[in-house]
Structure 1
């Protein structure tokens, strides 16, 4: 049965987050609140956990998983980023954005997109998640918590526990999230002189990066 950690959204109890971090270190999957919706996270280097993450979501290896990072210094270790890309990232992090970038050699090949060799990366603003990332001392592999066959992310921690208690190790309950996905921006073309591409409109304002919401496509 999944462990349940009820924490304060603005002043989370460190002892509880340490217990959740220990679950991740042991290969567990934990449901966590974010600045967009609840997500499933696991240790980056645990192949078994990553495979379970995909099974719970019902997605294949062509679905972008996301590296959840505490700050830009971590993000730059896992993606190839030039000065122009870095300036754009700095202007929008932390925030409700997911950036698609060329994966560096630090990212296991099994985690990057099989054709494009890209990875999604983000730096969240949610206080509880940022504390967890700091305790974990490294990025977490993440995916939005959307049940197979459904289109909307789950947003009630108790419902998440009831539905997935035999598939995940823990649930961090810090109250309801916004239930709005991140804004997804593809920065890979910038590496060859192109422009950023707005893939999906979400919680992050694209104008903050000089983009128009009218350019959004389908993810």
Structure 2
């Protein structure tokens, strides 16, 4: 990949960043919390590249950044509580996890195959200009290698991701400097992560306390269960051939009825994973079984195997 571009937050820089995003590129953008590593949330391959660039070991749900409430309405269902919170805190450092609309058009890698989506309307003026210029929903976790400190300046992004992404759009230092507050709103309002909006302010709008971490009413955060996002069919891993009644999903030299990547390309495999899980489940039918060929435990293979192990784990 060519050297990562360091773009100024001018009209030309924003237009160049927007064009890169529409073409499937990765662009680090400033928000009021931290810099986010943005990609087209509808593009499977672009979203898979986020995980590759960050060396992220699991497919956890990503936050979708949008310019306005109308955009949020097109991909999620907002309850009265969500609308009240949006009126008070959007744009701003509040992320809401909401029921996903069936026709939202997002890559399933963004939602990790769940029927909910995490949405935020950033307040940073450069981020808002970029979202309007790009005209697409942007998936954007923090713009740093997995496990490293979140970046609050463009130079922090370049120190960790230079040469792995197309560009960073320099909007100066982030004002808040901590990640957004995340609320689960697909049921009773629950705090999933404290952050830039105080809990007390949220509770004042809702007129009721939030469920807090440790409360028995708190929904499980995505990725916490050993068996998670599992298909109806039973899963067998590290298979080199199909047994009777199994749908084999191949990889590399192991051919199957479906394949993650005939070339053994982990980026292609990651982009295909959630789609093929659903397709294999439909082919297997009631009481059926799915077998997956071995996938290397390197790079994106770590995230692919993490997801497959959760899907194959014994059901509660």
State the TM-score, normalized to the length of structure 1.
Answer: 0.85
Residue equivalent to 2:4: 2
Change in 2 beyond 3 A, CA 1:84/1:179? closer
1: CA distance between counterparts of 2:92 and 2:153? Answer: 22
Structure 1 residue runs without a partner (length 5+): 8-12, 190-194
User: Aligned residue pairs: how many?
Assistant: 206
Structure 2 residue runs without a partner (length 5+): 215-220, 222-316
Secondary structure of the 1:28 match is coil
Residue equivalent to 1:53: 50
Residue equivalent to 2:83: 86
Aligned residues of 1:161 and 1:171 also touching (Cα < 8 A):
yes
State the TM-score, normalized to the length of structure 2.
Answer: 0.60
Q: Indicate which of 96, 110, 130 corresponds to 1:132.
A: 130
Aligned residues of 1:184 and 1:198 also touching (Cα < 8 A):
yes
Q: Which consecutive segments of 4 or more residues in structure 1 shift more than 4 A? A: 211-216
C-alpha root-mean-square deviation of aligned residues, in Å? 2.1
1: CA distance between counterparts of 2:90 and 2:183? Answer: 13
Residue equivalent to 1:198: 191
Q: Which has the higher contact order (CA 8 A, sep 6+)?
A: 1
Note the alpha carbon deviations across 1:96-116, whole angstroms, 9 max, x for none. 0111111112133342233x4
Give the superposition deviation at 1:205. Answer: 2.4
Residue equivalent to 1:207: 200
1:154 aligns with 2:148: no
Q: Based on CA coordinates, which of the two structures has the bigger radius of gyration?
A: 2
Give the superposition deviation at 1:200. Answer: 1.4
Aligned residues of 2:47 and 2:107 also touching (Cα < 8 A):
no
2: CA distance between counterparts of 1:85 and 1:148? Answer: 30
Change in 2 beyond 3 A, CA 1:170/1:158? same
Residue equivalent to 1:144: 142
1:1-219 map, 5 Å: 1-7=3-9, 13-57=10-54, 58-61=56-59, 63-105=60-102, 106=104, 107-114=106-113, 116-150=114-148, 152-177=149-174, 178-189=176-187, 195-210=188-203, 216-217=212-213
2: CA distance between counterparts of 1:138 and 1:196? Answer: 28
Note the alpha carbon deviations across 1:127-184, whole angstroms, 9 max, x for none. 100011111113211112242233x202231242243222100001121113211111
1: CA distance between counterparts of 2:93 and 2:169? Answer: 19
Aligned residues of 1:68 and 1:139 also touching (Cα < 8 A):
yes
Residue equivalent to 1:10: none
